[in-house]
Amino acid sequence: MTTSSLLSEPAEIGVIGGTGLYELFTDAAQFRVETPFGEPSDVLTVGTVSGRRVAFLPRHGPGHSLAPHRINYRANLWALRSAGVRRVLAPCAVGSLRRELGPGSVVVPDQVVDRTSGRTCTFYDEGGASHVSFADPYCADGRTAVLKAAADTEQPVVDGGTMVVVEGPRFSSRAESRWFASAGWSLVNMTGMPEAALARELALCYTPVALVTDLDAGIDADESVTQEDVYAVFARHIERLRALVLSAVDALPRERTCDCARALDGMALPFDLP
């Protein structure tokens, strides 16, 4: 597979996730994208899914080389928009804060809580105050498309739930897990923020698709979470997740009429959008 800096045809949809998804593309090619914010996690792999151009970016870089707090989220989202992407599907691994959401469950969350610290979380560092709406952090049309794809392929998917994003790379203590669960939150993750917020600042549609790999430590008093177990569960279910994401690509509306597309209306931006 060759790598070029020239994207011959814009991508319409972006997928940020684990390695391997590009293998189902019918005409994959790799492209390097430069951004004002440094290097993205990796090159973009662009191909066709259900007649639509899709750009895939491995969130953690080649060989899962980047820890969650070391990912250049700004470069990743900027690179995707520069390639033409306006809709982003974001499959991710999560821990569960609810016993009924056991390993292997797939959830399409509708809310997020940010418990990260020290990450660069905005594009608007200069040029005055710019405030985007984030009341509903995920794209309504994107969520509908994933749920429709799940129904069409008879995959069980949970509609809704709050995902709390922690700094990592360590897993939560039992006390932290119980605290999160007592607040009514459903999932815990390490990469969903500032990814979702940055997507909104670029007026991108952003939809997470969460695969539960474990019950968080405080939820199951007899067990603790290990990296080995998380990776093993994810590997067992990656084909299901990949099939769902690719089906969702086909289910996404061809035209954007959602609020995400109008997120920057009336705002004076300190930069020109790619």
Q: Is 272 a catalytic residue?
A: no
In degrees, rounded to 5, the angle at the alpha carbon of residue 76 between the alpha carbons of residues 74 and 79 is 105
Q: Is 229 a catalytic residue?
A: no
Q: Check 27, 114, 214, 265 and give the catalytic one.
A: 214
Please provide the DSSP assignment of 167-179 as one string: --SSPPPHHHHHH
Instruction: Report the C-alpha gap between 55 and 101 in whole angstroms.
Output: 30
Contacts of 180 (CB under 8 A, 6+ apart): 97, 164, 172, 188, 216, 218
Round to the nearest angstrom and report the end-to-end CA distance of the chain. 26
Q: Are 66 and 18 in contact, with CB atoms under 8 Å apart?
A: no
Which residues of 196-270 form beta strands (DSSP E)? 205-215
Q: Are 152 and 221 in contact, with CB atoms under 8 Å apart?
A: no
Q: Check 216, 222, 229, 272 and give the catalytic one.
A: 216
Please provide the DSSP assignment of 32-101 as one string: ----TT---SSPEEEEEETTEEEEEEETTTGGG-S-GGG--HHHHHHHHHHTT--EEEEEEEEEESSTTS
Query: Active-site residues: which are they?
Result: 214, 216
